[in-house]
Structure 1
């Protein structure tokens, strides 16, 4: 196996830290709601509860969407890209490593898109990564493909 690379989305908070964040915001809102209740402004309290509930829902949705990943494996005579969605659905794409090229398209705004191209097909890789990470992953894949090409000869058994 020349390459086994798993790409996962970046997350700024762990689940434990997100839980602590929701509890801290809820605690601050609880103190504020006691003050509003004492001042007779009780209609504000349901909106504060809704704010905490929406924050918890947003963080939970964020973690669910982060469950997806991509795995690149260069072994035997195939470069396999497996995409797993946040719901667990998997898509597998196989490319011939002898003809696969890594293409990094730079945008005018400084972003970069990473593609694997072979036989007229282009596959977008690592769309959830930052531009510097995509460039680094592209270099790793290019190096692995170069090592693969240097170390083996093309399989011509199917060309009869």
Structure 2
């Protein structure tokens, strides 16, 4: 893209629990697990000991997967001659969709209660979904700004 962009956006998934919060949660859960583990060990309920470790491992694994998926990014750039949507998967794999903004079609699917459910940019039979991981409010604000940018680029 050689021209000055009319619009640039970096989209990323929202994570409500930060790294510090995760550490606190795991430490508190581990502390509660170890505390209760002592009672079961004294009572001779040894099979329960293994299950206590399992719940902690599952909790950590669930948050690890959540943070991994949180590394996904989408970079959307619009200039007068080029529109690019570059996606970066959590694994680092990248894909890109490019087209002329004059030929681009931006479609938005809405649900009456939820709001925007899907956003798609397409051109001449090819296309890509945009912002699938965004919450409804973020989808709404992105759709408004992106539609405005497309209109500006087409003038």
TM-score under structure 2 normalisation?
0.89
Paired positions, count: 150
Q: 1:79-132: CA deviations, max 9, x gaps?
A: 000000000011011011112132111246635211113223332111111223
Question: Contact 1:115 / 1:125 at 8 angstroms: preserved in 2?
Answer: yes
2:154 equivalent among 141, 144, 149: 149
User: Structure 1: how far apart are the matches of 2:8 and 2:71?
Assistant: 19
**CA radius of gyration, larger in:** 1
Structure 1: unaligned runs, 5 residues or longer:
151-160
For residue 29 of structure 1, report the CA deviation from its aligned partner: 0.7
Q: What are the residue-to-residue correspondences of 1:83-98 with 2, within 5 Å?
A: 83-98=87-102
1:27 aligns with 2:31: yes
State the superposition RMSD in angstroms.
1.6
Distance 1:14 1:66 in 2: 11
Question: What 5-or-longer segments of structure 2 have no aligned partner?
Answer: none
Greater RCO (CA < 8 Å, at least 6 residues apart): 2
- 2:126 is the counterpart of 1:124: no
Secondary structure of 2:101's counterpart equals coil
Partner of residue 11 from structure 2, selected from 7, 10, 21: 7
Residues in 1 aligned to 2:113 and 2:44: alpha-carbon distance in whole angstroms: 52
Deviation at 1:76, TM superposition (A): 5.2
Cα separation, 1, equivalents of 2:14 and 2:99? 26
1:75 Cα deviation after fit: 2.6
CA distance in 1, matches of 2:102, 2:133: 27
